[in-house]
């Protein structure tokens, strides 16, 4: 899963976030420890710790002294909001920019998205 | 951060050859370092001076705040696993382990036994008769089981196959997680160790050309691929460390971390972005350093 584009600790943090978002790691459940993450991903434990600390700072994980790391209540909501903003920045912004170039406004885009989305559902969503 | 090793103005000459050229750096406590560079770059020389197995021509070396030479307060806290370690002719692996156990105060015999099993090391054969890979395994086992506060591994993997190397990396991570200590790992298999090392020291022709965290190095360079005009306009004003072209398609590796604006620009101009691995980046940087030097020398003449 590790691609070398971005800082490794961000990718580790993201892998934990993904598990929280898809529900495989529930709120108030125990999160993998730094050492578990390090040996699973075969990375330096200090790097794994950096990723875990980032999630603690963000309020996604919290520490129970002597027991380990747990997923905070409300973590999933927090991450979904964050991903939504990131999605808008990364995909919607360039989409709008390109659309403006060829004379499509927001309403045209909305119509276009509906049209394509319904094509996806009729073909079972398997088309790309 | 506490540093366990401090090096200032270190120079080593062998006759006319300058193996290490006025080098300065610090090694932080409990960090895994990658000491990387080409053959003959000066890696082994630096490590042997730090472990008091070689003398500096000039400069200052401090290990745990003291000069390491014949210093009994310093030497048992360091373990140097050499690529070309020699053992007595009639020694078997258990002899080497017993000697190490007497020298290193933190020696863990249980870990040693486990590693012997992991590497399937024959204990009844003379070390002289071991294969290259088994010989490397002896060194790796001593390096790990000594649990020295500073451990140097100088290309510890020679002759080890991919499975045995993975055993080494896995045991290193596990044991380091439980017993944090300073590790300096010299390797040519950069991509194999990229995820293990927290900091990168690159030495090239006797000089340090990179001393950073691996995370900072990652993302330091990006390869952009696409139509020549679009690539060149993106690359304008950036430092290009490598360029290849095939017809109208150009692939340029540019230095600098991409900003969000950069990514947007790349997406809208239809360029493909590929990450640059640590190994690729270091290859390019050492090539560039070599090119820069030939140009400078040319200018002097």
What digits encode the pLDDT tens for the residues B218-277? 878 889 999 999 999 999 989 898 899 988 899 999 988 888 788 878 887 888 888 888
What pLDDT, on a 0 to 100 scale, did the predictor assign at position B300? 41
Residue-range domain boundaries for chain A:
8-73, 83-122
Nearest CA-CA distance, residue B276 and chain A, Å: 7
A98 touches chain B (CB under 8 A): yes
**Facing residue for B268 by CB, picked from A43, A47, A94:** A94
How much of chain B, in percent, has pLDDT values that exceed 70? 96
What digits encode the pLDDT tens for the residues B190-227? 989 999 999 999 999 999 999 999 988 887 888 999 99
What digits encode the pLDDT tens for the residues A56-73? 999 999 999 889 999 999
ipTM score above 0.90: no
What pLDDT, on a 0 to 100 scale, did the predictor assign at position B59? 95
CATH topology of domain B217-300: Alpha-Beta Plaits (3.30.70)
What pLDDT, on a 0 to 100 scale, did the predictor assign at position A128? 47
DSSP assignment of chain B, as one string?
Answer: --EEEEEEEEEEEETTEEEEEEEEEEEETT-EEEEE--TTSSHHHHHHHHTTSS--SEEEEEETTB--TT-TTTGGGEEEE-TT----TT-BHHHHHHHHHHH-TT--HHHHHHHHHHTT--SSSBGGGS-HHHHHHHHHHHHHHT--SEEEEESTTTT--HHHHHHHHHHHHHHHHHS--EEEEE-S-HHHHTTT-SEEEEEETTEEEEEEEHHHHTTSEEEEEEEHHHHHHHHTTS-EEEEEEETTEEEEEEESPPPHHHHHHHHHTT-EEEE--HHHHHHHHHHHHHHHHHHHHHHH-
Which of residues A6 and B257 earns the better pLDDT score? B257
What pLDDT, on a 0 to 100 scale, did the predictor assign at position B218? 80
Asked if B32's CB is within 8 angstroms of A44's CB, the reply is yes
* Mean pLDDT of all residues in B128-155: 95
A102 touches chain B (CB under 8 A): no
Residue-range domain boundaries for chain B:
3-214, 217-300
Report, at the CATH architecture level, how domain A8-73 is classified: Orthogonal Bundle (1.10)
What pLDDT, on a 0 to 100 scale, did the predictor assign at position B299? 43
Asked if B196's CB is within 8 angstroms of A42's CB, the reply is yes
* Mean pLDDT of all residues in A22-32: 94
**Facing residue for B176 by CB, picked from A5, A45, A50:** A45
In a mutagenesis test of the B interface, which of A36, A44, A91, A97 is the best target, namely the one with the most B β-carbons within 10 Å? A44
Report, at the CATH architecture level, how domain B3-214 is classified: 3-Layer(aba) Sandwich (3.40)
A7 contacts in B (CB within 8 Å)? 215-216, 218-219
**Facing residue for B177 by CB, picked from A2, A3, A35:** A35
Nearest CA-CA distance, residue B218 and chain A, Å: 6
pTM above 0.90, yes or no: no
How much of chain B, in percent, has pLDDT values that exceed 90? 71
A/B interface, count of CB pairs below 8 Å? 73
**Facing residue for A9 by CB, picked from B194, B215, B263:** B215
Mean pLDDT of chain A: 88
């Amino acid at each position: 899963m590790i691609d070398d584009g971005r800082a490794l600790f961000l990718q580790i943090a993201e892998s934990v976030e993904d598990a929280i978002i898809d529900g495989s790691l529930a709120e108030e459940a125990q999160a993998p420890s730094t050492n578990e993450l390090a040996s699973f991903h075969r990375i330096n434990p200090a790097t794994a710790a950096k990723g875990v600390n980032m999630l603690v700072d963000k309020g996604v994980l919290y520490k129970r002294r002597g027991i380990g790391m747990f997923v905070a209540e409300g973590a999933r909501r927090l991450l979904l909001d964050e991903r939504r903003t990131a999605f808008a920045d990364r995909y919607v912004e360039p989409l709008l920019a390109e659309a403006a170039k060829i004379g499509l406004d927001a309403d045209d885009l909305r119509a276009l998205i509906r049209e394509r989305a319904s094509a996806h559902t009729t073909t079972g969503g398997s088309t790309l | 951060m506490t540093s366990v090793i401090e090096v200032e103005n270190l120079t080593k000459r062998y006759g006319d050859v300058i193996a290490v050229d006025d080098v300065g750096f610090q090694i932080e406590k409990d960090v895994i370092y990658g000491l990387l560079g080409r053959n003959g770059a000066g890696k082994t020389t630096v490590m042997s001076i730090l472990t008091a197995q070689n003398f500096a021509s000039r400069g200052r070396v401090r290990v745990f705040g003291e000069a390491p030479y014949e210093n009994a307060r310093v030497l048992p806290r360091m373990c140097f696993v050499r690529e070309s370690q020699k053992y007595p002719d009639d020694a078997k692996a258990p002899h080497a382990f017993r000697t190490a156990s007497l020298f290193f105060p933190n020696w863990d015999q249980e870990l040693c036994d486990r590693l012997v099993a992991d590497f399937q090391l024959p204990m009844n054969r003379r070390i002289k008769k071991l294969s290259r890979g088994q010989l490397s395994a002896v060194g790796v086992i001593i390096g790990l089981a000594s649990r020295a506060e500073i451990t140097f591994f100088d290309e510890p993997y020679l002759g080890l196959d991919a499975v045995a190397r993975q055993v080494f990396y896995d045991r290193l991570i596990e044991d380091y997680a439980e017993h944090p200590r300073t590790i300096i790992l010299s390797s040519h298999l950069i991509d194999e160790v990229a995820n293990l090392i927290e900091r990168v020291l690159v030495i090239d022709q006797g000089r340090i050309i990179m001393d950073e965290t691996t995370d900072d190095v990652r993302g330091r360079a990006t390869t952009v691929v696409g139509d020549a005009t679009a690539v060149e306009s993106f690359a304008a004003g950036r430092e290009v460390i490598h360029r290849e072209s095939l017809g109208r398609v150009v692939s340029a590796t540019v230095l600098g971390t991409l900003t969000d604006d950069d990514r947007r620009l790349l997406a809208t101009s239809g360029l493909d972005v590929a990450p640059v691995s640590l190994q690729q980046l270091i290859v390019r940087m050492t090539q560039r350093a070599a090119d820069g030097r030939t140009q400078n020398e040319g200018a002097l003449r």
